[in-house]
Structure 1
Amino acid sequence: MLFLQSKLCSLCRSSLSRKYCSEVTQNKVKACESQNRKALGQPAPHTHPHLLGENEVTPLIKKEEYQSRRQKLVETIVEHANKQNCLSSDHVIIIPSTSKQYMSDKIPYVFRQNTDYLYLTGSQEPDTCVVITTGQSPSDHKSTLFTRDKDDHAELWDGPRTHPEDAPAFFGVDHSLPISELSKFLGSYRKTVPSSNLWYDFEGSSHKDIHRVVCDYIKDSSNKKFESPRNFIHKLRLYKSTAEIALMQKSCDIASRAIVETMSYSRPGIGENQLFAKVDFECRARGAEFLAYPPVVAGGNRATTIHYINNNQLVYTNEMVLMDAGCEYHGYASDITRTWPVNGKFTDPQREIYEIVLEVQRELIALCNQLPSLDALFECMCLLLGKKLQEAGLIKTQPSNTYLMKAAYKLCPHHVSHYLGMDVHDTPSINRNIKIEPGMVITVEPGIYVSEKSSLPKEYHGIGVRIEDDVLITVNGPVVLSRKCPKEIDEIEEIANCENTTKS
């Protein structure tokens, strides 16, 4: 303990303000004494050993990885600032958590953390914040985590909170203070470092009270230089670590099995709401916290509505179900779409459309070997769909690729891919015109939607098919993370067969 206390004091001597030195040192020593028995505001190895291993802040992700993420962010920002010839070499980065949202008086929605904040800290609590300050070099930075204030009454109702004395040891940050001290901390920083560059996302602020404090800080500061760190964080999030890949694989495995169970459960006359409930249950029963987004459960011609989420109709014999569903597993999402006949047997027109979509998807996944951009992948989808529809005699014979692509786009008016990770449409500030690289995870989701107004023959009207998989890009080629979810016609018919004796 004496050695630990000495080490902690050496860290504290390099802190931003001597004012907090004694408090921080005492807090860290107290944390070491209490960490093995005290409940925090989120799962920890000593309270949830079935979820977290030693030194893990969130399942599979150790505090060293969170520290490395913050270090990389600082390095990226400093490098960018140097290229821009910023007058000051000092930077302050402020990333807030999300606040609780309420559906009615005292009844909260399910809390979901700001993913940029979660990525950098591992903190799953609302009304918190991290401030990262830099010195003369990127390695000379300090992270201060602001936790919720102690409130015995609130903790009686909502459970324990992580307090400042426990946060440094658990999260691997340098210092921790109550959130009520944020304004005072920034004021002290401004006096110590009057000219610095502020990195804060003013447009996408996720917490109004913290936003107000930051606005006051800017208003009273002599230096008005500020920029959003969002794109820099997203560039880091774009490449998945070994732990993140393992979490995404598990998320895909859970969703895949849930969709298979839902296929098997389906039968003519079933309600879309029942299928929704089934996939939700199967995901949660296997360890997912919740579905990653409101699922599409579209029977019959409702599958031609791309974002159909009403899920309140019945599905009859000779109709198909298009289900777009995924789950969130310890902060990481899956996103899978399958289409199947509710009675277990494709009609000839359904089979024909399905085979076209499946063939196109196979070719697009293979094309990922060449590391195209997502936009290039989309153009390839349109051309491939157009050619295969023409070969099937479903659109006019024309030699022009432009004609084929336009005809296909009318039948598939959405992009074929997006980045996937902590969010379903992950890292949205990253353009889809950059080439994909190893470490990225993307979706590949071609589809064909034949509305009642389509020029295709009438027997195809009302057919909607989409097949979507989650794909990890590696140096050895694409790896389909959702491979455990069957998509071959024979497999699907066997699973969904309404004569299957396992059906109730």
Structure 2
Amino acid sequence: MAAPMISWSLLEASKRVLIKTGIEHFQSGLSGLSSSWSLSKLLNSVPSMIKWRRHFGQPVPQTHPHLLKEGEVTPGITKSEYKQRRNMFVRSAVNSSPVKESVKSHIMIFPSASKTYMTKDIPYPFRQNTEFLYLCGFQEPDSVLVLECDILNKKINHKSVLFVPGRDPAKELWDGLRSGNKGSLQLTGVNEAYNTDELGNYFNSYCKHHQEYVVWYCFSTPPHRHFHEGIIGDFLKQSYNMPKEDTRRGVQKLQLIKSPAEIELMKTSIEIASQAFRNVIPFSFAGINEHHLYAKMDFECRIRDAQILAYPPVVAGGDRANIIHYINNNQLINDGELVLMDAGCEYHGYSSDLTRTWPVSGRFTSSQRALYDAILHVQELCISMCTSDFSLDDIYFRMLHLLGVELQKLGLIPTNLTKDQLIKKVRAFCPHHVSHYLGMDIHDTADISRGIKLQDGMVVTIEPGVYIPKTSIDVPDEFKGIGIRIEDDILITSSEPVILSANCPKHADEIEALFRQ
């Protein structure tokens, strides 16, 4: 019997259906269809054509081969690296617990971030909770990672369990695809994955089968309010008499030292920001609005594949540069003024943080140049100290002394001062530290002391600054209203520091040359 003919209208409708499911090369497949194909044969082929493709709530190798290789959860970071992080955290946490000899079971709870809304039904851009992201790489909100650990014969055994929002076609229509428990299991490589509506039963079962255990959780700053006041809160009440430990510092100790894959992501993030600055600086002119420079920075970072700016940037013209975290960015910058921009971007979860100060009209005045060169000299000396011989606090106290000497040369601080008096004066000109750790967060691993020695694999900032408001007294008039900060991102190595932001111009001659290109 001859096969029924397929109308082109049906063929085109089928084509549209398949395109919507993301099937590539469908058009070339259609061109090879003969009129003898039956409707049933065409439709029966659809499941096999889309069988390879799962729905995921974040990029995966199948859907984003230009970003991820097979086995990667985050570009460059594999399932095995995430598994290693979980293993390292469990071992470190259990071995540091004061009750490790008497209590043999531990449960470690890491909630994701939740969506937050600027107004009804309109969410802010979502950013995942750092602890949760560091341990599993899963990017969807309203999820929970649980590490369940038991010590048997002095051997630490654990499993990782991920709870995620269930597949829901109605919600996915509005908010985007979800991975679901099966997809998240395939994506992350955890041991088990369930929908979050099973989390309560999981906790109840855990309590029934464990008489004594240690609860690990971010008690200091719970990241998910709904879970904390609901399912997790109920579990904590059930476990009120159990030993408790905070997860935050343990994860930060691991985050402090970057893996080779993390360093590559940070290099990219910092290079994106560096190249963006190259285009933002000469975009300036007398009378420009600070907001235009903000927009230019945002564009230049995103066009180079950064996902977002890492924080609201400081774009401060003239005297506003003396407000350390000025983010209004809505004033005009006058001819002859400096503009201070503190900005960075986020690239697949890793941040850059740079500050440059430049003359909006393209040339420094003599007093601006003198103060700028003094701060740059101090910064370069501080960068040379980024070795295992020093801590960030060591560099900070050295910066205070170096700045004091430079400010005395410029007549901004009297020369007849004791050491303590000099330091006090300098702190009035530079009220912030010279450095912080950098990584997934801008102020990364904030609970880790800046008094520890630097180690191979850390990334830090070096950012001396001097701030002289117009209202300052006892300083030469030509310096009033000037605020200058210069900030670079530094990788600590076993030999010498590596300036990851070296391609971002900072010498005064380089900056002025950008305006002449």
TM-score by length of 2: 0.88
Q: How many Å separate the matches in 2 of 1:269 and 1:148? A: 50
**CA contact 1:129–1:147 (8 Å) conserved in 2:** yes
Structure 2 regions of 5+ residues with no counterpart? Answer: 1-48
The counterpart of 2:102, out of the listed 87, 112, 135, is 87
Give the deviation of 1:114 after TM superposition.
0.2
The one-character-per-residue Cα deviations of 1:114-169 (angstroms, maximum 9, x if unpaired) are 01100001000000010001122565100000010221200111221111122223
**CA contact 2:387–2:454 (8 Å) conserved in 1:** no
Q: Which amino acid aligns with 1:361?
A: Q
Match of 1:347 in 2: 365
Structure 1 stretches of at least 4 aligned residues deviating more than 3 Å after TM superposition: 33-36, 83-86
The counterpart of 2:484, out of the listed 441, 462, 465, is 465
Which aligned pairs between 1:409-424 and structure 2 lie closer than 5 A?
409-424=427-442
Q: How many Å separate the matches in 2 of 1:202 and 1:450? A: 41
The counterpart of 1:295, out of the listed 308, 313, 318, is 313
The counterpart of 1:204, out of the listed 206, 210, 221, is 221
Q: Which amino acid aligns with 1:225?
A: P
**CA contact 2:94–2:100 (8 Å) conserved in 1:** no
Match of 2:67 in 1: 51
Q: Which amino acid aligns with 1:432?
A: R
- Would you say 1:124 and 2:139 are equivalent positions? yes
The one-character-per-residue Cα deviations of 1:241-265 (angstroms, maximum 9, x if unpaired) are 0010000000000001111100011
Which aligned pairs between 1:424-503 and structure 2 lie closer than 5 A?
424-454=442-472, 455-497=474-516, 500=517
The one-character-per-residue Cα deviations of 1:336-394 (angstroms, maximum 9, x if unpaired) are 00000111110011001101100000000001135322122111111100011112333
**CA contact 1:321–1:341 (8 Å) conserved in 2:** yes
Match of 1:114 in 2: 129
Q: Which amino acid aligns with 1:104?
A: T
**CA contact 2:411–2:476 (8 Å) conserved in 1:** no
- Would you say 1:167 and 2:198 are equivalent positions? no
The counterpart of 1:65, out of the listed 75, 81, 86, is 81
Give the deviation of 1:48 after TM superposition.
0.8
Residues 154 and 187 from structure 1, CA distance in 2 versus in 1: closer, same or farther, beyond 3 angstroms? same
The counterpart of 1:239, out of the listed 229, 250, 257, is 257
Match of 1:360 in 2: 378
Q: How many Å separate the matches in 2 of 1:256 and 1:464? A: 21
Q: Which amino acid aligns with 1:456?
A: V
Which aligned pairs between 1:30-429 and structure 2 lie closer than 5 A?
36-81=52-97, 83-85=98-100, 87-136=102-151, 139-211=156-228, 212-221=230-239, 223-398=241-416, 400-429=418-447
**CA contact 2:387–2:455 (8 Å) conserved in 1:** no
What secondary structure, in the 3-state scheme, does the structure 1 residue paired with 2:492 have? strand
Q: How many Å separate the matches in 2 of 1:476 and 1:40? A: 43
Q: How many residues align?
A: 465
Residues 241 and 45 from structure 1, CA distance in 2 versus in 1: closer, same or farther, beyond 3 angstroms? same
Greater mean deviation of Cα atoms: 283-292 or 196-205: 196-205
Q: How many Å separate the matches in 2 of 1:451 and 1:167? A: 53
What secondary structure, in the 3-state scheme, does the structure 1 residue paired with 2:387 have? helix
Match of 1:16 in 2: none
Q: Which amino acid aligns with 2:194?
A: L
What secondary structure, in the 3-state scheme, does the structure 1 residue paired with 2:73 have? strand
Q: How many Å separate the matches in 2 of 1:353 and 1:221? A: 59
Q: How many Å separate the matches in 1 of 2:240 and 2:378? A: 58
Q: How many Å separate the matches in 2 of 1:86 and 1:360? A: 51
What secondary structure, in the 3-state scheme, does the structure 2 residue paired with 1:44 have? coil
Give the deviation of 1:216 after TM superposition.
1.2
What secondary structure, in the 3-state scheme, does the structure 2 residue paired with 1:142 have? strand
The one-character-per-residue Cα deviations of 1:36-61 (angstroms, maximum 9, x if unpaired) are 41121111000111111111001110
The one-character-per-residue Cα deviations of 1:243-292 (angstroms, maximum 9, x if unpaired) are 10000000000001111100011111111010000000000000001100
Q: How many Å separate the matches in 1 of 2:211 and 2:463? A: 51
Give the deviation of 1:315 after TM superposition.
1.1
Give the deviation of 1:85 after TM superposition.
4.8
> RMSD of the alignment, in Å?
1.5
Match of 2:18 in 1: none
Q: Which amino acid aligns with 1:41?
A: G
What secondary structure, in the 3-state scheme, does the structure 2 residue paired with 1:165 have? helix
What secondary structure, in the 3-state scheme, does the structure 2 residue paired with 1:413 have? coil
**CA contact 2:110–2:144 (8 Å) conserved in 1:** yes
Q: How many Å separate the matches in 2 of 1:464 and 1:222? A: 52
**CA contact 1:71–1:139 (8 Å) conserved in 2:** no
